[in-house]
Structure 1
Amino acid sequence: MRLSDKVVIVTGAGSGMGRAIAELFAKEGAKVVASDISEERINEVSTSIKEAGGEALGILANVAKESDVQQLIDRTVQAYGTVDILVNNAGIMDNFIPVGEVTHEHWERVLGVNLNGPMYASRAVLKIMLEKGKGVIINNASVGGLFGARGGAAYVASKHALIGLTKNTAAVYGSKGIRTNAIAPGGVNTAISGTITAPNQLGMEAIGRAGSAPMGEAQEIAYAALFLASDESSFVNGVVLTADGGWTAH
């Protein structure tokens, strides 16, 4: 198994890509700490992993709150002694609202989850990884972090910034044995679409001009994450792995 005895934290693990990553990593031998904002979903994924013979610990956390993230890291260390792999997966959409119409509250909410959360978690685990001289951080970004018309202003800005954070972390800490990479999924059948409640017409028109996105499955993104987490990608650091079925190749 590729991740035998590795301690992995997956945020947003209650559904979609996060759940697929948590279950696949457990299948590959990891001790998985599944974090989510929904206690019900945490219990579901933890139970699923245990019933399949894996090891899991569910921890309730809102990644936009630094205190929640620190508690997540602390409880993981209390339970398993360390953190080997961090998967910053938690994220929300933004109703495709353009900058001319975005509210301060909306902007802060999206960046709080999509950017601040990964920063809080990365900052906390780096202290642990630096002591060990090794570790892996995977940020689930988006093709919205590579192109302008794949979301609203807040979402696109947050994902561009997350990719910047990924590259900076890789450049600074790569020499310390810590690899940091990002995945940029395109259209994926997940519950994140449920965070789109009232799509903005102007924003939707811009996305429409980008063409229709092929839809992938969460499991396909999980396998991309597994590659980046495993020793098979030992020489891969600071990359953005696009997984979009060719959407952005057109």
Structure 2
Amino acid sequence: MSKFSLKNKVAVVTGGGSGIGEAISLTFAQQGAKVHILDFNLEAAEHVVSQIKKLESSAEAHKCDVSNQKNVFEVINGILKTENINILINNAGIAHVGNIEAVEEADLDRLYNVNIKGVYNCLKAVIPSMKSHGGGVILNLASIASSVGLSDRFAYSMTKGAVLTMTYSVAKDYINDGIRCNSIAPGRVHTPFVDGFISKNYPGREAEMFEKLSKTQPIGRMGSTQEMADLVLFLCSDEAGFITGSNYAIDGGFVTLNG
């Protein structure tokens, strides 16, 4: 048996159709898990499922708006009719750039609904089943923004701070039910979102801005989605069975070495 095997495990990955979520979904499948990808973009989720099936692994795509509790419960309960959920990855999230003066009420509501309420909805849908089946593992995507002040990230930082404290709360409340809950705090990761942000805001200066943003990490580059997925794999594996209520920085030294 190889280390970090997820054989016979069933995992739910929100936002699994792209970026970090896609890397997590593919990595979990490679390690033997059956993966349920929940994504607002069903086409993207189905594309990842098709990649997983080429690996001769099992996966299903589900269109899901994590901010809609009824939708979340319908999808999760549909999965639970046929199998238990062993792992929940709360990855789905959206970003916003701006200080408090640039954040309108609609922006705040949108960020809250996806990044906070979306995590709450998935936790609430999955935890009762985990309790009744002897436990499980929950991994939330926090951010360096949950630990340090970042310029022009008022609304985003608020939501990721909430994700971090939800992680601690769930870990504390359900430790005796065999449920482990941790989070990771990525720094800047090279995803399609980053490329889109640069091309939209700095047309003609893409290479320059990519280099500039990369150097904000002390290590000198952005992280890769696969590096995020590998840490998530470890924390969700049986080898990490002694770890709960922890937040893991994976940020190229940003939080501790930028002082």
Normalised TM-score (structure 2)? 0.87
Q: Does 1:18 align with 2:12?
A: no
Partner of 1:87: 89
Q: Check whether the contact 2:99–2:151 (CA below 8 A) recurs between aligned residues.
A: no
The 8 Å contact of residues 144 and 150 in structure 1, kept in 2 or not, is answered as no
Give the structure 2 partner of residue 204 of structure 1. none
What is the DSSP-based 3-state SS (H/G/I as helix, E as strand, rest coil) of the residue aligned with 2:101? coil
- C-alpha distance after superposition, 1:102-159 (max 9, x if no partner): 1111001011111111111011111101101211100011111111216511100000
The alpha carbon displacement at 1:15 in A equals 0.6
Q: Aligned partners of 1:12 and 1:173: how far apart in 2?
A: 25
State the shift of 1:167 in Å: 0.2
CA deviation vs aligned residue, 1:168-187 (integer Å, no higher than 9, x gap)? 00011012110000010001
Gaps of 5+ in 1: 200-207
* Residue in structure 1 matched with residue 216 of structure 2 by the alignment: 212
Q: Which amino acid aligns with 1:53?
A: E
Give the 3 Å change call, closer, same or farther, for CA 126–60 of structure 1 in structure 2: same
1:185-213 per-position Cα deviation (integer Å, ceiling 9, x unaligned): 001011333468669xxxxxxxx9xx713
Aligned to 2:250: 243
Determine helix, strand or coil for the equivalent of 2:102: coil
Deviation at 1:13, TM superposition (A): 0.4
Instruction: State the match for 2:120 in structure 1.
Output: 119
The RMSD of aligned alpha carbons is 1.7
2:228 maps to 1:221: yes
1:186-201 aligned at under 5 Å gives the runs 186-193=187-194, 194=196
Is residue 27 from structure 1 mapped to residue 30 from structure 2 by the alignment?
yes
> CA–CA distance in 1 between the matches of 2:167 and 2:158?
14
- What one-letter code is carried by the residue in structure 2 that aligns with 1:24? T
How many residues are paired up?
Answer: 238
- Residue identity over aligned pairs, in percent, reads 36
- Contact kept, 8 Å, 1:93 with 1:195, in 2: the verdict is no
Q: Normalized against structure 1, the TM-score is what?
A: 0.91
Residue aligning to 1:154 = 155
Structure 1 partner of 2:57: 54
Question: Which position in structure 1 is the counterpart of 2:129?
Answer: 128
State the AA in 2 paired with 1:4.
K
CA distance in 2, matches of 1:133, 1:55: 23
